[in-house]
Structure 1
Amino acid sequence: MEWVVIISVLVMLALSLLRIHVIFAIIIAAVVAGLMAGMNVQDTISILIEGMGGQGSTALSYILLGVFAAMISYTGITSILVKSLIRILTGKRALLVLVIALIASFSQNIVPVHIAFIPILIPPLLILFDQMKLDRRAVATALTFGLKAPYLMIPVGYGLLFHQTIQSGMTNNGVDISIKESALSMLLPGIGMVIGLLIAVFISYRKPREAKQWLPVDHLNNDVKKEVTFNRAHGLTIVAILGALVVQLLTESLVIGALSGIILMVLFFAVPLKQGDAFVQQGVSMMGTIAFVMLVSSGFGEILKQTGAVDALVSSSSSILGDNQVLIAFVLLLVGMLITLGIGSSFGTIPIIAALYVPICLAAGFSPMAIAVLIGTAGALGDAGSPASDSTLGPTSGLSADGKHHHIWDTCVPTFLHFNIPLFVFGWIASIIL
């Protein structure tokens, strides 16, 4: 029975690597798991649908944040930021990259718009990158760092969502942990990512590099040329962003926080109410796929639990690995990396790997914080280097606007090397000492 988990996950991974959309890959893998466990297709799909409710709050958060991001983009406030960067940081390659990493970090916690800022911020800077002969691989690592490291370590914005997902996955499998403990457990893997970023900026990609033309592009829309001055709408947008952050911190709900930001943008007339449909469409387009991936992943995790395959895997793994925590942690992180490389979503994999990891770790005597760091690190592993991850697709979408950036070689390979290796090492160490 333990082979149900292994084979279904391998099917999901193989389909994802073959460029089958992750939603279809998960559904097919779920059906394979159900059939191998002796269920028919109808029963399997019913369990899948019932299990999707476990990530309903997370999915709604993504959709609302997408709408909020579309509204912020509409005001044009980011154009002012781009002009400031060009004026202050021209000729300062390393500092420019680190500032981009800082701005990207804000997108996960302080202004939770996720990847929505990249198509607005990066394309106007591409000409500057070429003039400075800035290695775009450094910028890709900076953007991916900002899209991932903050939510691993800071339980605000997407960080709150991430650690709530870890908490839920552990609680559903019999282990209680607080959000604070979960966040503290991920500090060491997060420090590993900081080290990876510094290596990329100051060692690997510090030398000048001419960008290679990979794809033909007819034109590049450079909004920075437009004259944009700070106005009332921009000020009210900042107030709405701060209001959303305060509400989220007070209620500990990303849904309520995002909804508050949307309402404030409308009440302040920072965006026109009559364009509400357009904002919703943009938000769903931006975040809808990610939201649905998490729903389907939750359903897949429910199937794995209800088939009894997880218990069987725990028994067989315990007999093979014994109680050697060092070896168990290494194997679990390796499996997590492979799974996430296929799925391309750290959020989406946590409900799946939590169902696998918690029983195994309990049997081996891991502490709750050690279990949390294994689940969190395994969820993050692979995400940075996965071709299907929004942590790599987002940076590529901005850096390839002029056709001079290759998704695999200029984004995925650099981010895999500089983030997955330190994440693995530091997550492994943390799981042993916590």
Structure 2
Amino acid sequence: MEWVVVVSVFVLTILSLLRINVIIAIIAAALTAGLMSGDSVIGSIEMLVSGMGGQASTALSYILLGAFAVAISYTGITAILVNYLIKVLTGKKTMMLFAIAGVASLSQNLVPVHIAFIPILIPPLLKLFDEMKIDRRGVATALTFGLKAPYVMIPAGFGWIFHETIVNGMTENGADITIGESALAMLIPGAGMVVGLLIAILFTYRKDRESIPGAGGNEANFTAPEAGNVTFNRKHLLTLIAIVGALTVQLMTGNLIAGALTGLVLMFALVVVPFKKGDQVMADGIAMMGQIAFVMLVASGFGHILTETGAVDALVEVSSGFLGDNKALIALILLLVGLVVTIGIGSSFGTIPILAALFVPICLTAGFSSPATAALIGTAGALGDAGSPASDSTLGPTSGLNADGKHHHIWDTCVPTFIHFNIPLIVFGWAAAMVL
């Protein structure tokens, strides 16, 4: 039973590397897990479907955030940012990548649209990327950094939800910790992501690289949307008010759906977007974020199979059975187990409750402090958001960078982000467990 998780994730990884569609790869991995656990094909499918509801809230929030992002772009305010980047950073590759990482970071704590901004901001820049011969793998790495590092280290916006999930999971399993302590514990693993970003931008992807037409499986003709000349006006001010309103409600309620709905309602109530455009805004939002939302649903079903069959419990039990009292080895094994589990499911928020239930008893027995335990759980959860084919932190960058069919999801997003973030996360997460 303990090999179910390993084999099923191996199937997911191999199929993804072979350029099989990520949804098909996840379904194949889920069926593999079900069959290895002694279930039938039909039974495995039914278990997969029954578990898809686990990410229903996330999927709906992504659709609504997509619609909110479309409404924001309708005002032309994003064109101001695009024009600024083009004007100031043309010919400055390194600064362009750092700027993109910075803009992406705002989507987690300040402007709560998460990945929904990428299909709006990035396509108008693709032509510029090609003219500057920017390696799009560097852009993907910068985007994924901005989508992950802020919530890992800063307890606000998505970060508040992330750390609250860690605290709740630990508290329910007998370990006391505050959100502030959890955030401080994750500063060390977060520093590893900063190191990974610096290596990617300053060394790995610094050289010129020509984009390859059709690399992403889409050889259709693509015309980059023009940003146009836009000056700041009243609608843009009202848009900023709607963004602040969305962020405020999200922080007060801890609910992404409530925040996104607030933003949308304000956009229409303030007549920033005409009411008659409501159907188009929602349709465009679904078109932009629908595939990512569905991938998250299928990944949730896969995670449901792994937990319901007891495969994850068996893996942790076997891994911890031969560790003895060697804290350094225990920490490393727990992180590697977390990597295997989370890369298959692709969601740190969805796997942290599972990891907390498994990790806390082991960490308490081994004598780890609460901050050290939080660092292990948080790092193990974050590992699933970089390098996983099913993660929104990789699907999001691909959605923008592959608009013209020149960027492959696995080889140009997942592999670079895995190398530059998951490896440092394991190293720095292990160090955090040792020193805290």
Question: Could you tell me whether the CA contact under 8 Å between 1:153 and 1:190 is conserved in 2?
Answer: yes
Question: Could you tell me whether the CA contact under 8 Å between 2:8 and 2:33 is conserved in 1?
Answer: no
Counterpart of 1:163 in structure 2 is: 163
Pairwise CA distance, 1:352: 3.0
Q: Distance in 2 between matches of 1:225 and 1:15?
A: 38
Letter in 2 for 1:351: P
Letter in 2 for 1:118: I
Counterpart of 1:345 in structure 2 is: 347
- Residue 11 of structure 1, aligned match among 8, 11, 30: 8
Question: Could you tell me whether the CA contact under 8 Å between 2:161 and 2:254 is conserved in 1?
Answer: no
Q: Distance in 1 between matches of 2:180 and 2:46?
A: 36
Between 288-297 and 194-203, the greater mean CA deviation after superposition: 288-297
Q: Distance in 1 between matches of 2:368 and 2:102?
A: 34
Q: Distance in 1 between matches of 2:211 and 2:47?
A: 50
Counterpart of 2:293 in structure 1 is: 288
Q: Distance in 2 between matches of 1:29 and 1:168?
A: 32
Question: Could you tell me whether the CA contact under 8 Å between 2:387 and 2:417 is conserved in 1?
Answer: yes
Q: How does 1:233-252 map to 2 (within 5 A)?
A: 233-252=235-254
Counterpart of 1:103 in structure 2 is: 103
Question: Could you tell me whether the CA contact under 8 Å between 1:185 and 1:373 is conserved in 2?
Answer: yes
Q: Say whether residues 1:356 and 2:353 are aligned partners.
A: no
Counterpart of 2:308 in structure 1 is: 303
Q: Which runs of 5+ in 1 are unaligned?
A: none
Q: Distance in 2 between matches of 1:65 and 1:179?
A: 26
Letter in 1 for 2:169: G
| Identity over aligned pairs, percent | 60
Q: How does 1:128-143 map to 2 (within 5 A)?
A: 128-143=128-143
Q: RMSD in angstroms over aligned alpha carbons?
A: 3.3
Question: Could you tell me whether the CA contact under 8 Å between 2:104 and 2:147 is conserved in 1?
Answer: yes
Q: What is the total number of aligned residue pairs between the two structures? A: 425
Q: Distance in 1 between matches of 2:414 and 2:54?
A: 30
Counterpart of 1:322 in structure 2 is: 324
| 1:192-242 alpha-carbon deviations (Å, 9 max, x no partner) | 111111111112222333333344744323222544443332221111101
Instruction: Pick closer, same or farther for the CA change 1:188–1:280 going to 2, 3 Å.
Output: same
Q: Distance in 1 between matches of 2:320 and 2:209?
A: 50
Question: Could you tell me whether the CA contact under 8 Å between 1:137 and 1:414 is conserved in 2?
Answer: yes
SS of 2:196's equivalent? Answer: helix
Q: Distance in 1 between matches of 2:410 and 2:312?
A: 34
Q: Distance in 2 between matches of 1:311 and 1:405?
A: 37
Question: Could you tell me whether the CA contact under 8 Å between 1:153 and 1:184 is conserved in 2?
Answer: yes
| 1:282-323 alpha-carbon deviations (Å, 9 max, x no partner) | 44551532653575467457636xx6x777666654441112
Provide the TM-score with structure 1 as the length reference: 0.84
Q: Distance in 2 between matches of 1:316 and 1:6?
A: 10
| 1:226-262 alpha-carbon deviations (Å, 9 max, x no partner) | 4444333222111110122223334444443333222
Provide the TM-score with structure 2 as the length reference: 0.84
Counterpart of 1:66 in structure 2 is: 66
Q: Distance in 2 between matches of 1:59 and 1:119?
A: 17
Pairwise CA distance, 1:328: 0.9
Question: Could you tell me whether the CA contact under 8 Å between 1:137 and 1:205 is conserved in 2?
Answer: yes
Counterpart of 2:419 in structure 1 is: 417
Pairwise CA distance, 1:53: 7.5
Q: Distance in 1 between matches of 2:187 and 2:162?
A: 14
Q: Say whether residues 1:399 and 2:404 are aligned partners.
A: no
Letter in 2 for 1:412: C
Q: Say whether residues 1:115 and 2:115 are aligned partners.
A: yes
